[in-house]
Amino acid sequence: MKIHILEVTKLPSNTDMIKLYSQKILSLATELPFTSPLKNPDISITKRSPVCGSTISIELKVNNNHISEFSQEVKACALGQAAATIVANSIIGISFNEVRTARVQLLNMLKKNGKTPDQPFEELEVLTPAKDYKNRHASIMLSLEAITEGLESLN
């Protein structure tokens, strides 16, 4: 007879949840900019997180390896929406390399206690409390993942 031992996961306390869903994060989640579709975008991509089901659709226009116009439709949790707001507020005029760097830096911030992403994405620091909630990382990363994947499709 085999005995299976179930691992009990500690549920977050109310204090942990308050830190995770701060007033700043909740405010950012309600301020999604650039939600009108673009006419004749260079890139259109929809990306879904298999972990949580969050979805983002991105449209971009590019000029000289820089993002010149941006549109998004976001269906995500408050953390994913907050991240999408911060990214959208910073994305116009950004080079492809800056997007790739921000993606790596955000991933490192969440998974390896890395530093906050460089300007103009430094406001992503507000999401630092989510590093302890691995099931939220995919939603937070979704915007930069979609933009990066879209830019890679141009090559």
Pairwise CA distance, residues 130 & 45, whole Å: 26
Asked if residue 19 has pLDDT above 70, the reply is no
Reported as a pLDDT band with limits 50, 70 and 90, residue 50 is confident
Q: How many CB atoms lie within 10 A of CB 44?
A: 14
Question: CA 22, 27, 33, 35 torsion: positive or negative?
Answer: positive
Consecutive H or E run containing 136: helix 134-152
Q: Which residue has the tokens 């969440």?
A: 110
Enter the CATH code of domain 33-152.
Answer: 3.90.1010.10
pTM for the full model?
0.84
Domain segments of the chain as ranges: 33-152
Which pLDDT tens digit goes with each residue over 86-141?
999 999 999 999 999 999 999 999 999 999 999 999 999 999 999 988 989 999 99
Helix (H, G, I), strand (E, B) or coil at 47: strand
Q: How far is CA 152 from the centre of its chain?
A: 17
3-class secondary-structure state, position 72: strand
Q: How far apart are the first and last CA of the chain?
A: 57
The more confident residue out of 132 and 6 is 132
The chain-wide mean pLDDT, for the chain, equals: 88
Phi and psi for 23 in degrees, rounded to 5? -60, -35
- The distance of Cα 91 from the centroid of its chain, to the nearest Å, equals 12
Please state, in angstroms and rounded to a whole number, the distance separating the CA atoms of residues 100 and 9.
34
Check whether 46 has a pLDDT greater than 80.
yes
